[in-house]
Amino acid sequence: MAQGPLSGLKVLEFAGLGPAPFCGMLLSDLGAEVVRIDRKGGDDGASDLVTGRGRRSVALDLKSPAAVEACLKLMEGADGLIEGFRPGVMERLGLGPDLALARNPRLVYGRMTGWGQTGPYAQAAGHDINYIAITGALAAIGTADKPTPPLNLVGDFGGGALYLAFGLLAGVIHARATGQGQVIDCAMSDGAASLMAMFYGFKAAGLWGEGRAANLLDGGAHFYDTYRCADGRWISIGAIEPRFYQLLLEKTGITDPQFQRQMDPVAWPQLRDKLAARFALKTRDDWCALLGGTDVCFAPVLDMDEAPAHPHNLARGTFVKAAGLTQPAPAPRFSATPGAIQGPPPKIGADNDQALADWGFSAEAIAVLRAEGAL
Q: Would you say 225 and 191 are in contact if contact means Cβ atoms under 8 Å apart?
A: no
Considering 29, 79, 128, 156, which one is annotated as catalytic?
A: 156
Is 156 an annotated catalytic residue? yes
Instruction: State the DSSP H helix or E strand holding residue 39, giving kind and residue range, or none if neither.
Output: strand 33-39
DSSP symbol at 307: G
Considering 61, 127, 353, 358, which one is annotated as catalytic?
A: 127
Beta bridge pairs of residue 10: 33
* Interatomic CA distance for residues 42 and 346, integer angstroms: 13
Beta pairing class for 234-238 and 298-300: antiparallel
Q: Would you say 180 and 105 are in contact if contact means Cβ atoms under 8 Å apart?
A: yes
Is 127 an annotated catalytic residue? yes
Task: Give the torsion sign (CA, 113, 119, 123, 125).
Answer: negative
DSSP symbol at 295: T
CA-nearest of 65, 1, 59, 74 to 32 is: 1
Q: Would you say 111 and 167 are in contact if contact means Cβ atoms under 8 Å apart?
A: no
The residues annotated as belonging to the active site are: 127, 156
